[in-house]
Structure 1
Amino acid sequence: MNLSYEEYLLILTFFIIIYLLSKQKKNRDLKKENHILKQYKEAVEESNIISKADLKGNITYVNDKFCEVTLYSREEILGKPHSLLKGESSKEIFKNLWETISSKNTWHGVLKNRRKDGEFYYVNIIIKPILDENNEIIEYIAIRHEITDLIHKSEELEKSLREDFLTKEGNRFKLLEDIKKSKRPSLALLDINRFGEINDFYGYDIGDEVLRIVAKTFRKFIGNKYSLYRIYSDEFAILADNEDKEHFLRFIKQISDSLSLNPLKIKGKEIYIQISYSISFEEKDTLKKTANMIKKYAKTNKDVVIYNKNLEIEKIYEKNIMWTTKLKKAFENDNIVPYYQAIFNIKTNKIEKYEALVRLIDEDGIAISPYYFLDIAKKSKQYLKLTKQVIKKSFEYFKDKNFEFSINLTLEDIKSKSISTYILDMLVEYNIASKVVFEIVESEGIEDFVEVNSFIDKVRELGCQIAIDDFGSGYSNFEYLIKLNADYIKIDGSLIKDILINKNSEEIVITLVDFARRQGLKTIAEFVSNKDIFEKVKDLGIDYAQGYYISEPKIKID
């Protein structure tokens, strides 16, 4: 087909017009995208502290938020090294930071910085190296979010978790921490005999005042020489380090005699009390294990009990053998079973999850709590078998049910290659990961986060979720939550069960809920035993409730 010159020209003109219209549309789209990106950038700039630095760490750019928080003007800060802001973060942190970003990797962490006026502040910071087309670093960008208020709240909470709310002395958790730090400890546990009768006869207000006066009397005697703790109800502890044994014995007897001989005067009443006490000079590792044991002996008719390794050891051995045998028979007869306790979604008013709780069914068909056999299972090397039984039977039970369910894992479970491999294999075999929540107990004992996070990453990849159990107990640390990247925190039952009568417990729970909300975590209240507690946790904004008010543990769910 032959075309004339005019026809060629017409076709060419047509394609030019199409090209120009297409380019115009692209320009409009690009302009629109740039407009949207500009708004995103403004939102990021307004809410975050942003800076850039050259390869030597000298600051080349800061945004308005940076100047607002640090109190430095642009003129004062540009060209200066980032170390100008350095606070009290350790050298190891900065060494790790520079090694990470110099290797073209992103660094994320928390830093304690210093403002121009010398005041410290905390930031959650991400530092990312910017690479050119040749994959070489040309600059660094740092995006920070100030978390000073959150850190201060967590510090206050950490303190309150180690302080007895009534006497303002240390509590049981603080005692265990201090024992760990001590070199050659001596420990005295002192009990007020028949304290329950004082509460019954005079009332709880008088009972509380008795505890305050006793604590003040102890503190007056010991001054700053020893450490004082109220570890439970009417039970106190005095800890000494590198102290002469005979001197410590005489000192404790002197305190006990003083309180026993002189009445307490409260609101016109004279109240006589008797103090019994026990003392241990064992090594600190043994001391922690025997602290609860020796306080039981202090309730005897003896004036004083001094702990030693042979103290009724035959009875302890006999009890251990009895439970070891019970466990062995339970495994043989398939009598290790999970019971399931409902977890109620307060927002939707529905039961949405269950927690699997191990039980031992004895010869009489009675379900025995793990309180009685868990320690023995660990000592007799049968603990990991318990875990496998709960996993296998729970997976089998829930495979066709439309509920999530949680399984408790200790650090021993996670560190066990046998258990971790078994879990991964079972998740694949049952194709059930999306229903499984692993509750990590004893999280305060984690020392190797790399090992624990490796396990978490593997089960997360399959679709599981993670909960931190008993959060709010004495060793709880907010840093653990960030490091473990949890989905839920289960608020310690000791806080929930006292929440209506203990203002300190309520304040701790409020702080925990606020922290969880900021971190995007869901909260679960344990030990919800009645309607009043349920309404309280609901008012505080807790997401889930678990306890006997909702449902007791059952071998089958409704």
Structure 2
Amino acid sequence: MSLFQTFCKYFYKNKTKTIFIIDILYMKDINAFYGFKNGDYILSQLCKLLKNKIRRDINHCLENPSCIEIKKSHVDVFTITIYDDLVETDILKVKNIIFDNIVGSEFKILNSKVAIDIDITIGCSKGEDKDLLVYAERALHNAKMNYIHFMYYDAKLYKNQLVNEELVKTLHRNIEEKKVEPYFQPIMDNKTQQITKYEALMRIYDNEGNIIMPQAFIEKARKYRLFNKLMELLILKVIEYIKLYKISVSINLDYTDILNPTMKNLIIENLRNDDIGHYLTIEILESKKISNYYLVNEFINDLKAYDVKIAIDDFGSGFSNYEHILNINTDYIKLDGSLIKKIDENVYYNLVKSIVLFCKEQNIKVVAEFVSDLRIHRYVKSLDIDYSQGYYIGKPQKINEIIESRNER
């Protein structure tokens, strides 16, 4: 190590540095096919490329020349540490230099005129010594899992880690204190112009009693295996409100929830002794993930024995198709918001029209979600869609607000 590099390492000991981890893809296959000697030969060529041309190109592209340390950290993994707090634009420039040089190079094979190319994945992060490698490796792992060649984690993620830990504590507290609460978004019958049912949307609370929206906690709740507990509390609250106020409510369950026998037993156990099944609708989320229609219909038939209705949610999103309608004994479909938002465009109008006509032939009711203004509502009504839901119809509210407004009519 040069005197300059030693000085850089000492000077930046407790300061932010930027690291790139370079992982050769399919190195095991290269070793298996060409032999370990050729594998080592390829690694030596890559090491030379990194320490010479790539180092020069990086120094050339950065306005202020930085100390750069290049080393092999694992058998087929190299790290480039730049002793500088690079801005994001410079990080992308360096990433492009690394990727283009390596992927664009040919690597020689011993005793052969044939050269091969290699592919890489790069993980990058900024931070101090204690944080640097951990987050760069996490970035690399996530890039490989998502089949992309680069991912960058910055210092904000250190704060997010603390936020995640606090969120888990919040989830535990809401479960222990049974604070999970449904908010109810109204659904309007387009013929009568009356609110006839509601969709129950999960809400939890932070330490100060402020609402935490689902997009902030649902994914983490699933990851930390707490979502089922939250869902059980939501279902019990909804059933309690149905009993008290005789309101029609829909609850969202995805494919994994349906396959969970505890979830089904919880619902049935609470329907068995009360004649309230006709107030309840189960919305099946992410129907495109369904791989076993037999199990889904077994779940549906068990609930329909108690007069529970079934809806397919987000119909028309992504690559959703009519197979779900044909294979699931459904009473409603809810058109995905991506269709309704663009219903004033001819192609989307005609697509929605075809879905509505098909559903009417099958005696299936249609609900339009994301009805956000009068203009969209008029398009929806012109297509004879049965129900509308969205902020134009009403925002999600607490149960007491729903009951108060109902009593005022």
**TM-score normalised by the chain length of structure 1:** 0.45
- Please tell me the residue identity of whatever aligns with 2:308: C
Aligned-partner Cα distance in 2 for 1:401–1:359:
20
8 Å CA contact retained: 1:437, 1:465? yes
8 Å CA contact retained: 1:387, 1:413? no
Matches within 5 A, 1:9-408: 246-247=102-103, 286-287=145-146, 306-307=150-151, 314-408=158-252
Structure 2 SS opposite 1:462: coil
8 Å CA contact retained: 2:200, 2:249? yes
Percent identity of equivalent pairs = 36
- Shift of the alpha carbon at 1:549? 0.9
Aligned-partner Cα distance in 2 for 1:460–1:285:
44
Matched, 1:461 2:330: no
Residue 549 of structure 1 aligns with which residue?
Answer: 392
8 Å CA contact retained: 2:312, 2:333? yes
Q: State the structure with bigger RCO (CA 8 A, min sep 6), 1 or 2.
A: 2
- Please tell me the residue identity of whatever aligns with 2:145: T
Residue 522 of structure 1 aligns with which residue?
Answer: 365
8 Å CA contact retained: 2:143, 2:151? no
- Are the structure 2 counterparts of residues 384 and 534 from structure 1 closer, same or farther at C-alpha, using a change threshold of 3 Å? same
- Please tell me the residue identity of whatever aligns with 1:287: N
Structure 2 SS opposite 1:424: helix
- Shift of the alpha carbon at 1:366? 2.3
- Please tell me the residue identity of whatever aligns with 1:463: D
8 Å CA contact retained: 1:282, 1:308? no
- Shift of the alpha carbon at 1:430? 3.4
Matched pairs, number: 270
Structure 1 SS opposite 2:178: coil
Aligned-partner Cα distance in 2 for 1:549–1:517:
25
Structure 2 SS opposite 1:344: strand
Aligned-partner Cα distance in 2 for 1:522–1:408:
17
Structure 2 unaligned regions, length at least 5? 1-98, 106-138
Specify the structure having the higher radius of gyration (Cα): 1
Structure 1 unaligned regions, length at least 5? 1-242, 250-279, 292-304
Residue 489 of structure 1 aligns with which residue?
Answer: 333
Q: Deviations over 1:226-264 (max 9, x none)?
A: xxxxxxxxxxxxxxxxx9994489xxxxxxxxxxxxxxx
- Shift of the alpha carbon at 1:315? 4.4
Residue 230 of structure 1 aligns with which residue?
Answer: none
Structure 1 SS opposite 2:393: coil
Residue 531 of structure 1 aligns with which residue?
Answer: 374
Residue 293 of structure 2 aligns with which residue?
Answer: 449
- Shift of the alpha carbon at 1:553? 0.6
- Are the structure 2 counterparts of residues 438 and 361 from structure 1 closer, same or farther at C-alpha, using a change threshold of 3 Å? same
8 Å CA contact retained: 2:335, 2:368? yes
- Please tell me the residue identity of whatever aligns with 1:458: D
Query: What is the aligned counterpart of 1:471 among 298, 315, 333?
Result: 315
8 Å CA contact retained: 1:341, 1:355? yes
Residue 163 of structure 1 aligns with which residue?
Answer: none
Aligned-partner Cα distance in 1 for 2:179–2:169:
13
- Please tell me the residue identity of whatever aligns with 2:375: D
Aligned-partner Cα distance in 2 for 1:349–1:472:
25
Aligned-partner Cα distance in 2 for 1:512–1:351:
24
Give me the CA root mean square deviation. 2.7
- Please tell me the residue identity of whatever aligns with 2:352: V
Q: Deviations over 1:258-308 (max 9, x none)?
A: xxxxxxxxxxxxxxxxxxxxxx986898217xx8xxxxxxxxxxxxx9216
- Shift of the alpha carbon at 1:440? 0.3
Aligned-partner Cα distance in 2 for 1:497–1:323:
32
**TM-score normalised by the chain length of structure 2:** 0.61
